[in-house]
A and B are shown apart, each in its own frame.
Chain A
Amino acid sequence: EIVLTHSPATLSLSPGERATLSCRASQSVSSYLAWYQQKPGQAPRLIIYDASNRATGIPARFSGSGSGTDFTLTISSLEPEDFAVYYCQQRSNWPWTFGQGTKVEIK
């Protein structure tokens, strides 16, 4: 099973700041990596798929990069609605797995 490790576990930032979230895979997942945002009491929402493609309706301030084992989700300038938990997920190998998440909280 491919293990996905997020860093940091928690990111404390202010609105307007840049957020950089990392996800590392225990083995290569090529570009088959997605990012999701989840707010309390809500279902997750797809943000990025295949490492760098924004999902429908996702603002341009969200961008993804990486391939192989190291991936990054960048939020260029945090808006109040961006404070949430972010999960990465791979679909390269069965079972599909998620990381444990990075919480982006207001500083």
Chain B
Amino acid sequence: EVQLVESGGGLVQPGGSLRLSCAASGFTFSSYWMSWVRQAPGRGLEWVANIKHDGSEIYYLDSVKGRFTVSRDNAKNSLYLQMNSLSAEDTAVYYCASLYGGFDPWGQGTLVTVSS
């Protein structure tokens, strides 16, 4: 069964940092582009970042460029999102997803709350 499981979310103060992880199983992780997508409470979906299967290409949403870093470890079947200089606008459920036609499948998400 294809599965993506995010972890690492939580409450963080403005200006703080958090590292999200996404553990993949049930498919050849190293063959797929991977993405992070977020959803603010009660709001729509927002693409955050993409990383190519070998990490050689990375794309970011402008509002997170310079603050967020996406990376992957194909040996560990894992995707990461390092988030620095967090602000209230970054409060959201963060989903990882593989790219196959579209974002497919998705993890269950991990909630990041930025608040003092």
**Measuring CB to CB, which residues of chain A are less than 8 angstroms from any residue of chain B?**
34, 36, 38, 43-46, 48-50, 53, 55-56, 87, 89, 91, 94-101
**Docked complex Cα distance between A43 and B105 (Å):** 9
Contact, CB under 8 Å: A49 / B45: no
Q: Is the CB of B44 within 8 A of A49?
A: no
Query: How far apart are B2's CB and chain A's nearest CB, in angstroms?
Result: 10
Interface string of B95-115 (1 = CB under 8 A from A): 100000111111111000000
Instruction: Name 9 A/B residue pairs within 8 A (Cβ), A-sorted.
Output: A34-B103, A43-B108, A44-B95, A44-B103, A46-B102, A48-B102, A49-B102, A55-B102, A98-B46
Q: Is B1 interfacial (CB 8 A cutoff)?
A: no
A99 in contact with B44 (CB, 8 Å): yes
A-contacting residues of B (Cβ < 8 Å)?
44-47, 50, 59, 61-62, 95, 101-109
* Alpha-carbon separation in the docked complex, A46 to B108 (Å): 14
Instruction: With both chains docked as a complex, state the minimum distance between the C-beta of B100 and any C-beta of chain A, in angstroms.
Output: 8
CB neighbours of B107 from chain A (8 A) = 43
5 tightest A-B contacts by CB?
A49-B101, A34-B102, A46-B104, A43-B106, A49-B102
| B101, B102, B103, B107 interface centre (most CB from chain A within 10 Å) | B102
**CB neighbours of B46 from chain A (8 A):** 98
CA distance A12 to B103 in the complex (A): 27
B103 contacts across to A, CB distance below 8 A: 34, 36, 44, 46, 89
Inter-chain contacts of B45 with A (CB < 8 A): 36, 38, 44, 87, 89, 98
Contact of B59 among A36, A94, A97, A101 (CB under 8 A): A94
Q: Which residues of A contact B62 (CB under 8 A)?
A: 95
Bound Cα distance A18, B89 (Å) = 38
Select from chain B the residue with minimum beta-carbon distance to A97.
Answer: B47
A95 in contact with B101 (CB, 8 Å): no
